[in-house]
């Protein structure tokens, strides 16, 4: 398909109700803001909205005829059937890229994909929850804010952050860093992508050479002014060269597609086009060269750490890939979740998001005002709303993210549903969240690394999360596992709710949002985290084993 897909705006319905129409618009929206919509790719080299164009067309047709008492079943981006259920049942359930344990390898995934039997849904691509940079920027900002609090007396002014990768997820890094007051140097191997990030305002300056990039950064540091600079170069080359020159940034991370050496990470000395050509001719050679480059990059990151930099992985599996390449101490680098985010998860706080389904940006402004009024005691989220208003442009359907916890998400959902019912919003609002949330992910190298009780690899939690959200009557529930280079590394669950102002939506919002975050609190309470146990008691969650801890 060559026609550009955009999410429908306005009040006109193509479906039998707003629940179905809302999910259809979210499907269209992930392609509107996606990286390669012509290939159904939303982000991360392989994350797809549907298995193929025939499946996409059939999903659209199914949503358009789906009744409120019916449920559409989707398997790895392919619609399978519609079943008679009941008016409070989910209208879409899906499973993406789940392979039995011993078979969950990149080689088997790629073989199944070539046969047209499977597609990787990513975290929020295949269940139509991705909202572009808007969806990850607060998490990126909150991590940097935590870094500032722990290491720099709460202030990143004059501090240099080095990172790489400005793809769909990584593109949030420049703006998040400057919002936090830092100077950021981002390395991006794709020249067209780097130029686009500057053109669309996500990054401020494009440098032609490393010397030019460093000059920009050093001047901004001297002036104590935030700045973001992108340099078109290979991350491994630049990280290694900075080590050779004796230049040590204050903070170092990376958000390249290091999880996938075949389709993501580009080796030293190659352009993305040259890597794509080698992939067709000799995929094993491409993987070998990519791993060698990645190994050199991680070795440089370890040297930065030895020299005093704050260094952490941003969730792209770069450490384990380097360990496989022979870097014995790669896992000594911190993972951002365990180091900076886990205390929030203990309270059910995580990346909650809402999308204006009519496309009216005034609806987001109205919800901003609701938050500033009804959550005034939450300084963190109110500060974020003010920053987002000032700095974050909308992409696709207007949306906002807010790190709200147990009880808070339910309060907001019910407030918004009432505002839809009373006509204070122009139309329904979709609520969803990232899969990297308290109860919804098992990934021993990201969200659940070094759990207090050793339960890092137990995947019961996201499966229970999905089943519980079905029981609580969510509109869409999904179970995902990793594909490509992520095969065998993670299982997660996603959920979407449509606040259309109805009493039925009020029931769904109340039960699902309470259950979704409540299970997150109990997951960490069960693992022995005192903060989560205190939260469970404060909210009178019906926990059955707190006395054991």
CA distance 242 to 165: 17
Clarify whether residues 164 and 202 are in a common domain: yes
Enclosing domain of residue 456: 344-473+495-542
CA distance 534 to 347: 9
pLDDT of amino acid 4 = 87
Q: List pLDDT tens digits, range 36-47.
A: 999 999 987 789
Clarify whether residues 360 and 507 are in a common domain: yes
pLDDT of amino acid 373 = 97
CA distance 536 to 439: 14
CATH code at position 463: 3.40.1770.10
Position 6 in a domain: no
Clarify whether residues 255 and 401 are in a common domain: no
DSSP string for 200-226: TTSSSEEESSHHHHHHHHHHHHHHT--
Clarify whether residues 420 and 525 are in a common domain: yes
Structure tokens at 400: 């906002």
Least Cα distance to 124 among 457, 396, 496 occurs for 496
Clarify whether residues 391 and 444 are in a common domain: yes
CA torsion sign, 245 to 155 to 399 to 340? positive
Number of Cβ atoms within 10 Å of the Cβ of 43 = 26
Which of 306, 332, 358 is a domain's end point? 332
Clarify whether residues 228 and 326 are in a common domain: yes
Clarify whether residues 392 and 538 are in a common domain: yes
> Is the distance from CB of 235 to CB of 256 less than 8 angstroms?
yes
Question: Partners of 183 in the beta sheet?
Answer: 160, 227
User: For strand 491-499 and strand 476-481, is the pairing parallel, antiparallel, or unpaired?
Assistant: antiparallel
Q: Which residues of the chain have pLDDT under 50?
A: none
Question: Partners of 350 in the beta sheet?
Answer: 404
pLDDT of amino acid 544 = 86
CATH code at position 175: 3.40.50.10730
Which of 76, 100, 131 is a domain's end point? 131
> 43 vs 123, 256, 263, 291, CA distance in Å?
10, 12, 12, 21
Q: List pLDDT tens digits, range 187-215.
A: 999 999 999 999 988 899 999 999 999 99
User: Which residue in the block uniquely carries the two structure tokens 């949002």?
Assistant: 513
CA torsion sign, 316 to 319 to 320 to 321? positive
Position 481 in a domain: no
Clarify whether residues 99 and 153 are in a common domain: no
Clarify whether residues 289 and 184 are in a common domain: yes
DSSP string for 31-57: HHSSSBGGGTEEETTTEESSSSHHHHH
CA torsion sign, 104 to 106 to 108 to 112? positive
Clarify whether residues 326 and 383 are in a common domain: no
pLDDT of amino acid 547 = 63
CA distance 72 to 90: 9
pLDDT of amino acid 1 = 58
pLDDT of amino acid 315 = 84
Burial string for 142-175 (b: 16+ CB within 10 Å, else e) reads bbbbbbbeeebeeebbbbbbbbbbbbbbbbbbbb
100 burial via Cβ count (<10 Å: 0-12, 13-18, 19+) = exposed
Structure tokens at 531: 């903060």
Q: How many domains in the chain?
A: 3
Q: In Å, how far from its chain's centre is CA 42?
A: 12
Position 373 in a domain: yes
Which of 332, 366, 391 is a domain's end point? 332
């Amino acid at each position: 398909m060559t026609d550009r897909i955009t999410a429908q705006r306005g009040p006109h319905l193509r479906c039998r109700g707003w629940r179905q129409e809302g999910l259809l618009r979210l499907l269209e929206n992930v392609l509107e803001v996606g990286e390669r919509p012509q290939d159904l790719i939303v982000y991360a080299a392989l994350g797809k909205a549907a298995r193929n164009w025939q499946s996409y067309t059939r999903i659209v047709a199914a949503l358009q005829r789906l009744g409120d008492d019916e449920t559409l079943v989707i398997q790895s981006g392919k619609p399978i059937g519609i079943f008679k259920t009941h008016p409070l049942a989910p209208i879409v359930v899906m499973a993406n890229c789940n392979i039995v344990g011993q078979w969950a390898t990149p080689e088997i995934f790629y073989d199944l994909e070539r046969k047209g039997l499977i597609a990787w849904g990513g975290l929020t691509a295949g269940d139509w929850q991705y909202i572009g940079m808007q969806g990850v920027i607060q998490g990126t900002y909150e991590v940097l804010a935590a870094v500032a609090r722990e290491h720099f007396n709460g202030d990143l002014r004059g501090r240099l952050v080095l990172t790489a990768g400005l793809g769909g997820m990584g593109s949030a890094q420049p703006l998040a860093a400057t919002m936090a007051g830092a100077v950021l140097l981002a390395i991006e191997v794709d020249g067209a992508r780097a130029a686009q990030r500057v053109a669309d305002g996500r990054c401020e300056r494009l440098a032609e050479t490393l010397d030019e990039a460093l000059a920009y950064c050093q001047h901004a540091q001297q002036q104590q002014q935030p700045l973001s600079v992108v340099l078109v170069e290979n991350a491994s080359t630049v990280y290694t060269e900075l080590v050779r020159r004796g230049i040590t940034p204050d903070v170092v991370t990376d958000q390249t597609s290091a999880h996938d050496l075949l389709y993501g990470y580009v080796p030293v000395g190659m352009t993305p086009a040259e890597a794509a050509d080698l992939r067709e001719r000799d995929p094993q050679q491409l993987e070998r060269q990519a791993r060698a480059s990645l190994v050199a990059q991680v070795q440089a990151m370890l040297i930065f750490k030895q020299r005093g930099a704050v260094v952490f992985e941003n969730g792209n599996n770069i450490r384990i890939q380097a360990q496989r390449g022979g870097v014995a101490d790669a896992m000594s680098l911190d993972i951002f979740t365990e180091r900076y985010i886990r205390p929030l998860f203990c309270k059910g706080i995580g990346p909650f998001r809402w999308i204006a389904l009519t496309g009216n940006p005034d609806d987001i402004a109205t919800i901003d005002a609701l938050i500033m009024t009804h959550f005034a005691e939450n300084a963190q989220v109110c500060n974020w709303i003010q920053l987002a208003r000032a700095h974050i442009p909308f992409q696709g359907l207007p949306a906002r993210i807010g790190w709200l916890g147990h009880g808070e998400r339910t309060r907001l959902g019910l407030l918004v549903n009432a505002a839809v019912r009373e006509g204070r919003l122009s139309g329904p609002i979709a609520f969803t969240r990232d899969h990297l949330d308290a109860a919804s992910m098992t990934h021993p190298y990201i969200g659940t690394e070094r759990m207090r009780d050793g339960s890092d690899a137990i995947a019961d939690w996201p499966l229970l999360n999905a089943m519980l959200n079905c029981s609580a009557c969510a509109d869409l529930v999904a179970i995902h596992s990793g594909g490509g280079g992520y095969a065998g590394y993670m299982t997660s669950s996603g959920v979407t709710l449509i606040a259309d102002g109805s009493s039925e939506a009020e029931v769904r919002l109340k039960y699902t949002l309470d259950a979704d975050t409540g299970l997150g609190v109990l997951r960490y309470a069960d693992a022995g985290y005192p903060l989560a146990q205190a939260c469970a008691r404060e909210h009178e969650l019906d926990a059955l084993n707190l006395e054991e801890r």
